[in-house]
Structure 1
């Protein structure tokens, strides 16, 4: 096959490209320039797609003897990822930019260009595997190393996209094995730290970054009974489950910490409460998509519920659940960053969890599994919490 290897400059994509070459494929390496500031430098394990990452990817491609290119996707990244991130926070949501990047950049814009240029598939260094059912339909499954499994962030992929994906390191026993292989191959990235946090906020200070992008309005901090406890600079910089930075002078009656349990961007109110108030037992998801063929036994209404597992964060444990579908919602009008909008178009997914979840925020992604297989995903829109015990 003719393979386009997406090379981030890290060890995983380097070994993935090497294995594609070893498998006899015709491989071309490409690094995506996503930053609007091409001179951006990497700081330890913070940030990615920097100028150092591009150079590292180029060095590995040279060692492999494959052609290498840098493609500028910075404008698309700004529009589809950065602007979306700002818009979601302006509505009091907590988005996952890595999910959006996989959905709109790596496996949409990149894959579309690759196919247009005659490539058969895009290879990446994700820890996940693709299998095929008896009818030849592709399925996405967890990687062998559960500690590094990245199937969650790939849950946005469609059946057609899966047909053109190639994950050479998904069956690796561990990240240590991948690093050892990179060392044997003489790759300079063998011991390079993994990147983490949000790549376009390399210093990790999301609140300060957002403060320059979203007009902030001072507002009230209330408890779950409605009593005013203090003021904030802007509700949109808070997220569900947040404990630090609340600036509440008066301690709770029981002396226990308080957490953000609700962010009302429209009313500009932040509500805080005890940890118990974060408990969630039902999720409503929008922007539902299926990762491959939808399960045949899921239907509309609770009578169409299926048994499954749901995962709400990249490294969270999946929990047993029941999932069923609701009706479609219509497309809302466009809005400016500081104006909350109705729910976007798409089918609603309803999920009851068998084990309570804590600190779930609208805007997060829930990915639905059956065993190791990813069924699909939806963006969390609303949650229901168990009543807080009194006394």
Structure 2
């Protein structure tokens, strides 16, 4: 007897292929779907990763091997509107975005989930390394880190809402390592067992995001001044979008000490530089916050959490409280943190005992770095 119908998002990589195969083994009726989110002109495509036509064909072959139906949905315009346009605007305003967060929120776990429901599916499954469970005491679905801490992707999933979590399956979240995923793929005879992981932003060319911005938004790259923290001009920059907080490249040479980008002012088109000591922030302001394990504001008192301020960063201890504006959170680190970057996400983790730091409480987009505690 079937355990239900599952739409498995198949990107053309080994993780999503193993996800679909495991669910079929468990007794689900699985439908493989690949999203076409960028149009290519060659087999490998101008852009790599899960967007290439080669990846679509890899997914098709994997589905045939598993023995499940496979469909390709054209999400190109939707993806451009929800993810690419925001990516460009964030750089235009001097922020450093994480497009995977926005893709998960609007593309995979909103629109694709809606499409899955239209097909009569009970669940949506992806190859993300994370875990979902239902907490009977709180009556809420929870998102937890993956068993494999090196592959954990919970940071990029903090925007998931209760209605999405209730219908989401992450079979790989309980696997101990990526090597185990590849072993399963080899045992099943999947053609993707040894395919390398995609490391780059899927819609950005190999030349990097600057080349992409030059092509898609040349007006976002306007020359302007580079100043030190006292306001003294020390050089010119080719465009604020060329820079991110903590950067050392493309800065004027011949200075007495090493300089780093410490702030970006898009309104005045200015890059501010200073010594490394200026990179450390006592806290942050986050907006567009989403809550998972908690029902959300109001927080009755400052809450002790572990917070990650970048995907591959280490979690830091902090206290969070509500900001003055609705939907904002102010965080105060126990120890100042380096290169707190507007546009990136601050994700809050909690949990008790053996699960300390494992449960995603929620998160938001970093709007500002706070140099002093508040």
**Interval of TM-score (by shorter of Structure 1 and Structure 2):** over 0.9
Tell me the residue number matched to 2:344: 364
- Structure 1 71/12 Cα, relative in aligned 2: closer, same or farther at 3 Å? same
Matches within 5 A, 1:1-391: 1-37=4-40, 39=42, 41=44, 46-135=48-137, 136-212=139-215, 213-215=217-219, 216-246=221-251, 248-251=252-255, 253-254=256-257, 257-294=258-295, 298-299=299-300, 304-328=301-325, 347-370=327-350, 371-385=357-371
Q: Deviations over 1:126-163 (max 9, x none)?
A: 11011111244210000000000011011110111100
Q: Which runs of 5+ in 1 are unaligned?
A: 330-346
- Unaligned stretches of 5+ residues in structure 2: 351-356
Cα distance in structure 2, aligned partners of 1:358 and 1:204: 27
SS of 1:82's equivalent in the other structure is helix
Name the Cα RMSD after superposition: 1.8
Alpha-carbon contact 2:293-2:359 (below 8 Å) kept: no
TM-score of the aligned structures, taking structure 2 as reference length: 0.92
Task: Using the TM superposition, give the Cα deviation of residue 326 of structure 1 relative to its aligned residue in structure 2, in angstroms.
Answer: 2.1
The total of aligned residue pairs comes to 361
Structure 1 residues 196 and 293 mapped into 2: Cα distance closer, same or farther (>3 Å)? Answer: same
Residues 168-215 of structure 1: per-residue CA shift (max 9 Å, x gap) = 110001000001110111111101010012111131522232133141
Residue 20 of structure 1 deviates from its aligned partner by: 0.5
**What's the offset of the Cα at 1:48?**
2.3
CA distance in 1, matches of 2:97, 2:296: 26
Find the counterpart in structure 2 of residue 342 from structure 1.
none
Q: CA deviation at 1:165?
A: 0.5
Runs of 4+ in 1 over 3 A off after TM superposition: 36-40
- C-alpha displacement of 1:67: 0.5
Counterpart secondary structure, 2:73: strand
How far residue 378 of structure 1 moved from its aligned partner, in angstroms, is 0.5
Can you list the C-alpha shifts for 1:356-378, whole angstroms capped at 9, x where unaligned? 21112111111111021101110
How far the C-alpha of 1:354 sits from its partner, in A, is: 1.2
Q: Answer whether contact 2:283 2:372 (CA < 8 A) is retained.
A: no
1:292 deviates by 4.5
Would you say the 8 A contact 1:198–1:204 is kept in 2?
no
User: Are the counterparts in 2 of residues 46 and 196 from structure 1 also a CA contact under 8 Å?
Assistant: no
Deviations along 1:272-311, whole A, 9 cap, x unmatched?
1111111011110010111254268823xxxx21111101
- Counterpart CA distance in 2 for 1:112 and 1:148 is 27
Whole-Å separation in 1 of the counterparts to 2:32 and 2:208: 32
Three-state SS of the structure 1 residue aligned to 2:40 is coil
Describe the shift of the 1:175–1:284 C-alpha distance in structure 2 as closer, same or farther (beyond 3 A).
same
**3-state SS of paired residue (1:119):** coil
Kept in 2, the 8 Å contact 1:36–1:75? The answer is no
CA distance in 2, matches of 1:84, 1:151: 21
Most deviating of 268-277 and 284-293: 284-293
